[in-house]
Amino acid sequence: MKVAVVGATGMVGEVMLQVLAERRFPVTELLPVASERSVGKEVIFQGKPHKVIGLADAVAAKPAIALFSAGGAISLEWAPKFAAAGTTVIDNSSAWRMDPDKKLVVPEINASQITREDKIIANPNCSTIQMVMALAPLHKKYTINRVVVSTYQSITGTGVKAVRQLENEYAGQQGEMAYPYPIHRNALPHCDVFEENGYTKEEMKLVRETQKILDDNTIAVTSTAIRIPVVGGHSESVNLQFENDFDVNDIRKLLNETPGVTVQDNTDTNTYPMPIYAQGKDDVFVGRIRRDHSQPNSLNLWIVADNLRKGAATNTVQIAEYLAANQLAG
Please choose, from the candidates 70, 27, 64, 63, the residue with its C-alpha nearest in 3D space to the C-alpha of residue 48: 27
Among the listed residues 9, 69, 87, 125, the single contact to ligand 2RA using CB under 6 A: 125
**Does 153 belong to an annotated binding site?**
yes
Nearest-CB residue to ligand 2RA?
Answer: 157
Residue type, 44: I
Residues 273-312 that bind ligand 2RA (CB under 6 A): 307
Backbone torsions φ then ψ of 54, nearest 5 degrees: -85, 170
126 in contact with ligand 2RA (CB under 6 A): yes
**What residues are annotated to the active site?**
126, 234
Binding window for ligand 2RA (CB under 6 A); candidates: 151-159, 250-258, 263-271, 290-298 = 151-159
Please choose, from the candidates 261, 322, 256, 299, the residue with its C-alpha nearest in 3D space to the C-alpha of residue 90: 322
Nearest approach in angstroms of CB 191 to ligand 2RA is 5
SS3 305: strand
Residue type, 120: I
157 in contact with ligand 2RA (CB under 6 A): yes
CA distance readout (Å), 265 to 139, 218, 247, 285? 20, 30, 15, 9
93 in contact with ligand 2RA (CB under 6 A): no
158 in contact with ligand 2RA (CB under 6 A): yes
Q: In terms of CB distance, is 125 or 298 closer to ligand 2RA?
A: 125
**Does 208 belong to an annotated binding site?**
no
Please choose, from the candidates 153, 156, 263, 159, the residue with its C-alpha nearest in 3D space to the C-alpha of residue 206: 153
315 in contact with ligand 2RA (CB under 6 A): no
* Secondary structure letter of residue 85 according to DSSP: T
Q: In terms of CB distance, is 86 or 280 closer to ligand 2RA?
A: 280
Q: In terms of CB distance, is 209 or 265 closer to ligand 2RA?
A: 209
Backbone torsions φ then ψ of 105, nearest 5 degrees: -120, 130
Binding window for ligand 2RA (CB under 6 A); candidates: 60-68, 102-110, 124-132, 254-262 = 124-132
210 in contact with ligand 2RA (CB under 6 A): no
Binding window for ligand 2RA (CB under 6 A); candidates: 101-109, 150-158, 168-176, 251-259 = 150-158
| Residues 6 or more apart in contact with residue 147 via CB below 8 angstroms | 131, 135, 210, 219, 220, 221, 222, 223, 238, 239, 240
Q: In terms of CB distance, is 3 or 305 closer to ligand 2RA?
A: 305
- For strand 284-291 and strand 298-305, is the pairing parallel, antiparallel, or unpaired? antiparallel
Please choose, from the candidates 245, 251, 241, 258, the residue with its C-alpha nearest in 3D space to the C-alpha of residue 289: 251
**Does 145 belong to an annotated binding site?**
no
Q: In terms of CB distance, is 191 or 261 closer to ligand 2RA?
A: 191
What is the contact surface with ligand 2RA in residues (CB under 6 A)? 125-127, 153, 157-158, 191, 202, 307
